[in-house]
Structure 1
Amino acid sequence: MLKYRAEIKKLPTYDVIERDWNIKINANECNMNLPPIVEERVMGRLSRLAFNRYPNTETESLAEQLAAAYHVQRRNILLANGSSEILEKMFFCFGGRNHKIVYPQPSFSMYKIYAELSNSISIPFDLDENYCLDAEKFVATVNDNKAHLAVICAPNNPTGTHIPLADIEYIAKNINCAFVVDEAYIEFDGRSAMEIWHKYPHMIIARTFSKAYGLAGARVGYMIADEKITEITGKVFMPYHLNILSAVTADIVYQMRHEYEPRIAMMRSERDRIAEQLKKMSVIQVYPSATNFVLMKYDKAVGLNEYLANIGIGVRSFGDAPRLKNCIRVSAGLREENDTFMKAVKDFVETHTEE
């Protein structure tokens, strides 16, 4: 008889099964593939790879490039399969039996799962009714629980909430445990915690290439931390865990990151345009966003989601999820995709207003 760990059976499944959507704006992805000039460089580099060798120089090239860009040492950088792997490893390193981990809710759904997998004690911290983080109360929760790890997502997913740098610094200054700032969406926001990172050796910055740089399929992320942290946490990663194809692609993308600046600006503009159009419908509440997506609340959200799915538009509906009931998250797609989505929403709202 197979005897699984009891905790694993209780875990929710992170659903990654997708339909073949006409318009896919449900996963906070970039709806554009590599810029042609970047693709040309990537393909040329891939054609010269030694596929029979383990990754080594290629991952070093990426890590060294990141270190130079952030004006840190190579030993301050750890690469991973997306920032999700970074987060998972932080939960394993600082969590464990009787170790408490504080994180906001609603936020990235994997925080709770990583806490369960690492056999840690979850201390979810409720955001306020507008999904803003109260830094003073968050600090009090961390300190009162003698937490081993505190995590925030800045800006926050799935709410889109901007967390002021002053609040992040207040937290860093007033807690003594490891402090992870998940900056998966920072390119759409503005000021990064990297501005203050050098002052707080217990602060860990997690970043990804999946969102702004459109490499969700390559799965590349990295963390920036004090060398004492990277040295210890590096021990929980598998050898050669980042494959050579992803490392090379990310290396070239980051070299040519200026090519992405117009795209990032466009996604921010489309995000704001979606929000403004949705706000014109009085029955829909739209939350401010500093990411590449918009969160909306509508009392007929379940029906709207079904209607959109039936016409081939994939959005992220939260159904009856705690604190996200009747909420839908929509990523900023291409302009024509966004126009089609907004017209569909308008048509549904007008049809169901009198019900």
Structure 2
Amino acid sequence: MLDYRKDIDNLPVYDVVERDWNIKVNANESGWNLPPLVEERVLSSLSRIAFNRYPNTEPEDLSEIIAKRFGLQKENVWLGNGSSEIIDKIFYAFGGEGHKIVYMQPSFSMYPICVKSADAEGIAVPLDDDYKFNAEKFIEAVKSQKASLAVVCNPNNPTGGLIPVEDIEKIAKEIDCAFLVDEAYVEFAGKKASAVSLMSKYPHLMVARTFSKAFGLAAIRVGYLLADKDIISTVGKVFKPYYLNVLSTVVASVVMQMYDEFDPRIEMVISERDRMYEEFLSLPGVKVYPSDTNFLLLRYDKAKELNERLLNYGIGVRSFGNAPMLDNCLRISIGTPEENNAVMKAIRNFAEGR
């Protein structure tokens, strides 16, 4: 009989199986590939890679570029295969038997999985009515549980809500454990939404970012951690050598250097999100939640039937089934204007009985 690690059978599975969708708005991806100028430079850079060599200076170069972007030092940056790997490693670094990790609920579905993988105890703090974040309740949970790590997703996935920077600072000021702010969607929330500016004041505060959402690089799997150099030094120990491939690193470097090329697309996503939000408000029986991300969360008594209708049309959205606090909820990513129009038409027809 095979002797697996204890409790591995109890780990939930993050389902990534896809089908050939006509419209795919279920994974919060970008609706566009790279801008032409960026793609041209990426292909040129990839042509100069020494494929026979292990990663050498490429990760260092990317870290330097990221640090410069945020006015930090290279020692304040750590790279990962998407921000999900960084989150997993942080949970591992601050986890272990007897350690407690506090996070919001509902939030990123990988948090409970990472908790179990880290042999820690997860403490989920429910959001208030209409998915409002309660900073006082969160702080009380962190303190009463003597947590080793506190985590907030900001803006939050899948609810879309933004925690004001003032509340992030309040948490950082009142807790003394490690504090991770997951900013996977922050580019869609405005330039003043990030907690990066607080890092110099609160050395236990960390910020995780990704290239997968606003920059349309979900395929290459690159994220990064911004943190105090002592945290970077320690967390870096749980990563293996050569864990990040050169192709992904080079692509991310080009994109970070051409950051401003993505501004028009980010603005278009924000505009389309706000347009879709207003249209959803007019649908009978549909509740839509305000969002500062590239998606919208809907609550609808007939969510299961609506999802089946969309499946028949080849439209993929995220259905949460009976997930805690997400019953009858669907999450819809913002795609291109044409995709958004088709999705809205299908949902409107269903909601209006056509």
Q: Which of the five TM-score ranges fits, normalised by the shorter chain? A: over 0.9
* 1:276 matched residue in structure 2: 278
Please give the residue correspondences for 1:233-248 in structure 2 after superposition, counting only pairs within 5 Å.
233-248=235-250
| Aligned-partner SS, 2:14 | coil
Count of residue pairs brought into register by the alignment: 352
Please give the residue correspondences for 1:95-244 in structure 2 after superposition, counting only pairs within 5 Å.
95-190=95-190, 191-244=193-246
Task: State the AA in 1 paired with 2:106.
Answer: P
Extract unaligned runs of 5+ from structure 2. none
TM-score, normalised with respect to structure 1? 0.98
Please give the residue correspondences for 1:238-317 in structure 2 after superposition, counting only pairs within 5 Å.
238-317=240-319
Deviation at 1:230, TM superposition (A): 0.5
* 1:37 matched residue in structure 2: 37
Residues 112-166 of structure 1: per-residue CA shift (max 9 Å, x gap) = 0000011101110000111111101110110011000000000000000110000
Distance in structure 1 (CA, Å) of the matches to 2:261 and 2:226:
24
Task: State the AA in 2 paired with 1:159.
Answer: T
Distance in structure 2 (CA, Å) of the matches to 1:96 and 1:245:
33
Residues 248-281 of structure 1: per-residue CA shift (max 9 Å, x gap) = 0000011111110000000011111111111101
Residues 157-204 of structure 1: per-residue CA shift (max 9 Å, x gap) = 000011000000000000000000000000001221012111000001
Distance in structure 2 (CA, Å) of the matches to 1:61 and 1:5:
38
Structure 2 contact 284–352 (Cα < 8 Å) conserved: no
Extract unaligned runs of 5+ from structure 1. none
User: What CA RMSD, in Å, does the superposition of the two structures yield over aligned residues?
Assistant: 0.8
Deviation at 1:6, TM superposition (A): 3.3
Distance in structure 1 (CA, Å) of the matches to 2:66 and 2:206:
15
* 1:72 matched residue in structure 2: 72
Residues 203-248 of structure 1: per-residue CA shift (max 9 Å, x gap) = 0100000000000000000001101100011000011111000000
| Aligned-partner SS, 1:344 | helix
Distance in structure 1 (CA, Å) of the matches to 2:325 and 2:137:
18
Deviation at 1:282, TM superposition (A): 2.9
Q: Percent identity?
A: 58
Runs of 4+ in 1 over 6 A off after TM superposition: none
Please give the residue correspondences for 1:310-349 in structure 2 after superposition, counting only pairs within 5 Å.
310-349=312-351
Distance in structure 2 (CA, Å) of the matches to 1:310 and 1:4:
40
